């Protein structure tokens, strides 16, 4: 992965802990609304809300460690989050002033001040990255039999705690230097005063296209360089009393965003609508109205920004400059309001009675002025230079798919599963897609060749913009449904590129036998159905492909009878008859799941031949399928055959390859511990 790609991965992970800030903002905002004078001292309910929000703000360091570890883990597993928590506790305890004094044998008053600030977001991010990397590398490690309980995911928190001892030793020498550098950087920016705030805001917008603005925000919004603007502002009276916040100063790196997000960008949206071609205005109106409302109400601006960011980059540079000017003006005039999520109406209302909010209402007339400025500049620039903003582009041959526009408007209920498959087709099909992730409003995809991405098709599907970061990195701006589309893309199965016919059949996998040394065979499984063998990673379902359900293989059936893969008891047959669970004499729990998402067929296509609780022999028929119906209606008929309690055994040895026959071909052996 490139450095840029890795930094983007960190930026995505940072959104996990940052997502807790709205909770703190709401709790503390409500508390200040109830008791704006006593700040909880005159009202028990207000104190309840303020202290509840403080619990989040005061522990942002550990939240960053947990959130980053979880967000950067390969399969978003809780063990990675636990490793981040354990690592943060070990590192911050060993680097606490008392521990440093004891370990280095120096008086407590000579311990560098940096160690008094060890529980910060910067250290949390560092710990989270290390914990995630350890999880990604060692979560599949198998220890010797005597220590097998601590294998796999259980190993990671233990390993993290030992690694953090080494990291703590290193930090004792380099943290004072790093801390001094960060503080110096923060102090340099602070000395620039309002100008520094404007410079920060300018670069904040410029970094949006590559997703690296999160890293810059951490310097000014959190306790990386001693500024800590958001937590100090949300702390209100407590921050003032603790000497962390200054009225009229704290919040200056936030306040000027309100006029831009609530008013300026909606003005730009209106200009884009007025400049659209007459035949496209109805379509552009819906897109611009949705984006403007999101920006005004919540402060989410990406749907609007990406609508002109790449088709008219000069407008985006103008937008960045105007944002810097707005933040500079608000900071200079000490018109201050803060936010816990973004600079929208919700956060403005919640922060309005915060003790640190000063002349916040002046941001509204400032915003109205910026509405006019944005509208005038955008409309003049678009028409003067004939910029192809949304609605001004001419129809291009080949822009229709199957003779019609496939754009999904904001007013239409979206079929997310179908939309996901269309986006996969637009980026060159499943064969070109190697990685799927999502941020709040964008799909972050890794592909083999970004030149294969059909940008016009993606925009017809509703995307605001397509970013080709490099040959393998692509981002598609899809709005608030990004997470849902990403989840659907992960389980969409094999999708051909736009304009290609779907393959008649997926290639059969060659599953190599797995060696499990010094283990006895406790069960021998035969294939439950006749067909072609696949490895689990080819199953178009994340739960099976990631082995979260269990370990095993899969078979794509070519005949209709499903038999028991081993002798045992049928402990469960699902109501829709698409799957059953078998327990062998030695306690192995086998799940045979015919097809993917076949539960949605409501039992049609399946006939049950035995009942739950039945004792069955290997090869005894369990189900009968209508393959013609299932192949026509099921998302996929690749059928996993897995051991759901594989952790109770040493593993399995796959014995089959290629074509298998129901009740005859040995599938795999389960090895005991």
Whether the predicted pLDDT of 104 surpasses 70? yes
Residue after which a domain boundary falls, among 227, 243, 268: 227
Within-domain flag for 134: yes
The enclosing domain of 652 has a CATH number of 2.70.70.10
According to DSSP, the β-strands at 551-557 and 621-625 are unpaired
Average pLDDT of the chain is 81
255 and 386, same structural domain? yes
Query: Can you read off the two tokens belonging to residue 638?
Result: 């690749």
Whether the predicted pLDDT of 102 surpasses 50? yes
56 and 9, same structural domain? yes
Q: Mean pLDDT throughout 398-403?
A: 36
Q: For the beta carbon of residue 246, count every other beta carbon within 10 angstroms.
A: 13
Within-domain flag for 621: yes
Within-domain flag for 495: no
Residue after which a domain boundary falls, among 227, 252, 273: 227
200 and 135, same structural domain? yes
204 and 68, same structural domain? yes
Share of the chain above pLDDT 90, in %: 25
Domain assignment of residue 472, given as a range: 415-490
Name the pLDDT band for 360 (thresholds 50, 70, 90): very high
Alpha helices (H) along 242-280: 257-259, 265-275
Q: How many domains does the chain have?
A: 4
451 and 339, same structural domain? no
Name the pLDDT band for 543 (thresholds 50, 70, 90): low
Within-domain flag for 445: yes
pLDDT at 513: 44
Q: Is 558 helix (H, G, I), strand (E, B) or coil?
A: coil
DSSP state of 336: B
- Our answer to whether residue 439 is catalytic in this structure is yes
561 and 426, same structural domain? no
Residue of 276, 523, 502 lying closest to 382 (CA atoms): 276
Phi and psi angles of residue 671, each rounded to the nearest 5 degrees, phi first: -100, 135
Residue predicted with more confidence, 574 or 57 = 574
211 and 236, same structural domain? no
Within-domain flag for 59: yes
Residue after which a domain boundary falls, among 181, 198, 227: 227
572 and 543, same structural domain? yes
Phi and psi angles of residue 522, each rounded to the nearest 5 degrees, phi first: -105, -10
pLDDT at 505: 42
One of 95, 275, 439, 581 is an active-site residue; which one?
A: 439
pLDDT digits (tens, 9 = 90+) for 12-37: 676 677 667 667 667 776 776 777 65
Is the entire prediction scored with pTM above 0.75?
A: no
pLDDT at 263: 96
239 and 199, same structural domain? no
Name the pLDDT band for 396 (thresholds 50, 70, 90): very low
pLDDT digits (tens, 9 = 90+) for 218-229: 777 776 666 788
275 and 219, same structural domain? no
Within-domain flag for 562: yes
Whether the predicted pLDDT of 402 surpasses 50? no
Q: Which residue's entry shows tokens 């063990």?
A: 79
Q: How many CA atoms lie within 13 A of 120 on its CB side?
A: 21
pLDDT at 115: 84
pLDDT digits (tens, 9 = 90+) for 153-183: 888 999 999 999 999 999 998 888 877 776 6
Q: Mean pLDDT throughout 469-474?
A: 77
267 and 209, same structural domain? no
63 and 169, same structural domain? yes
Within-domain flag for 386: yes
pLDDT digits (tens, 9 = 90+) for 588-608: 889 899 998 787 787 888 999
The enclosing domain of 457 has a CATH number of 3.30.1360.60
Degrees to nearest 5, angle at CA 379 with 375 and 380: 120
Within-domain flag for 31: yes
């Amino acid at each position: 992965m490139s450095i840029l790609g890795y930094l983007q991965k960190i930026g995505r992970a940072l959104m996990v802990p940052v997502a807790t800030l709205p909770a703190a903002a709401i709790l503390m905002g409500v508390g200040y609304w109830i008791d704006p004078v006593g700040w909880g001292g005159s009202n028990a309910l207000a104190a309840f809300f303020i202290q509840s929000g403080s619990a989040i703000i005061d522990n942002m360091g550990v939240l960053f460690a947990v959130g980053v570890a979880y967000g950067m883990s390969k399969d978003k597993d809780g063990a990675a989050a636990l490793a981040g928590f354990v690592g943060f506790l070990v590192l911050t305890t060993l680097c606490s002033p008392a521990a440093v004094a004891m370990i280095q044998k120096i008086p407590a008053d000579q311990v560098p001040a940096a160690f008094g600030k060890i529980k910060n977001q910067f250290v949390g991010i560092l710990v989270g990255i290390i914990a995630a990397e350890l999880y990604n590398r060692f979560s599949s490690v198998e220890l010797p039999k005597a220590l097998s309980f601590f294998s796999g995911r259980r190993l990671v928190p233990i390993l993290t705690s030992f690694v953090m001892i080494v990291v703590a030793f290193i930090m004792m020498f380099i943290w004072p230097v790093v801390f001094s550098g960060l503080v110096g950087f923060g102090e340099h920016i602070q000395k620039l005063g309002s100008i520094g705030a404007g410079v920060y805001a300018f670069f904040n917008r410029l970094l949006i296209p590559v997703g690296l603005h999160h890293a810059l925000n951490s310097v000014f919004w959190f306790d990386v360089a001693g500024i800590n603007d958001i937590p100090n502002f949300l702390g209100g009276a407590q921050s003032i009393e603790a000497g962390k916040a200054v009225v009229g100063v704290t919040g200056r790196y936030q306040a000027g965003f309100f006029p831009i997000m609530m008013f300026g960008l909606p003005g730009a949206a209106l200009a884009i609508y007025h400049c659209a071609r007459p035949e496209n205005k109805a379509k552009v109106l819906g897109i611009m109205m949705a984006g403007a409302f999101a920006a005004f109400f919540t402060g989410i601006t990406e749907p609007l920004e990406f609508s002109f960011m790449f088709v008219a980059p000069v407008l985006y540079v103008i937008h960045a400059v105007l944002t810097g000017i707005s933040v500079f003006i608000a900071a200079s005039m000490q018109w201050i309001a803060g936010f816990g999520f973004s600079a929208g109406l919700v956060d403005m209302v919640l922060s309005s009675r915060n003790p640190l909010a000063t002349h916040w209402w002046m941001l509204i007339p400032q915003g109205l002025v910026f509405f006019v400025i944005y509208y005038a500049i955008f409309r003049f620039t678009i028409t003067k230079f004939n910029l192809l903003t949304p609605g001004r582009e001419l129809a291009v041959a080949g822009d229709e798919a199957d003779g019609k526009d496939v754009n999904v408007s904001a007013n239409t209920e979206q079929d997310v599963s179908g939309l996901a498959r269309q986006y996969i087709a637009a980026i060159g099909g499943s064969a070109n897609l190697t990685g799927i992730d999502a941020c709040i409003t964008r799909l972050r995809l890794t592909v083999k060749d970004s030149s294969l991405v059909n940008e016009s098709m993606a925009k017809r599907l509703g995307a605001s913009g397509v970013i080709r970061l490099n040959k393998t990195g692509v981002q598609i701006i899809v709005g608030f449904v990004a997470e849902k589309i990403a989840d659907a893309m992960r389980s969409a199965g094999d999708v051909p590129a736009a304009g290609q016919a779907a393959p008649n059949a997926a290639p059969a996998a060659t599953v190599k036998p797995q060696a499990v040394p010094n283990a006895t065979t406790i069960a021998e499984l035969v294939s439950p159905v006749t067909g072609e063998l696949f490895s689990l990673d080819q199953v178009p379902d994340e739960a099976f492909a990631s082995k979260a359900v269990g370990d095993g293989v899969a078979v794509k059936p070519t005949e209709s009878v499903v038999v028991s893969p081993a002798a045992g008891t049928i402990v469960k047959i699902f109501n829709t008859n698409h799957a059953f669970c078998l327990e062998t004499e030695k306690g192995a729990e086998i799940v045979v799941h015919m097809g993917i998402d076949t539960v949605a067929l409501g039992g049609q296509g399946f006939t049950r031949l035995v009942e739950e609780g039945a004792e069955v022999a290997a090869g005894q028929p369990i189900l009968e399928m209508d393959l013609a119906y299932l192949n026509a209606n099921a998302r996929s008929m690749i059928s996993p055959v897995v051991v759901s309690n594989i952790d109770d055994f040493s593993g399995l040895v796959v014995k089959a390859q290629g074509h298998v026959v129901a009740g005859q071909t040995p599938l795999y052996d389960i090895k005991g511990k």
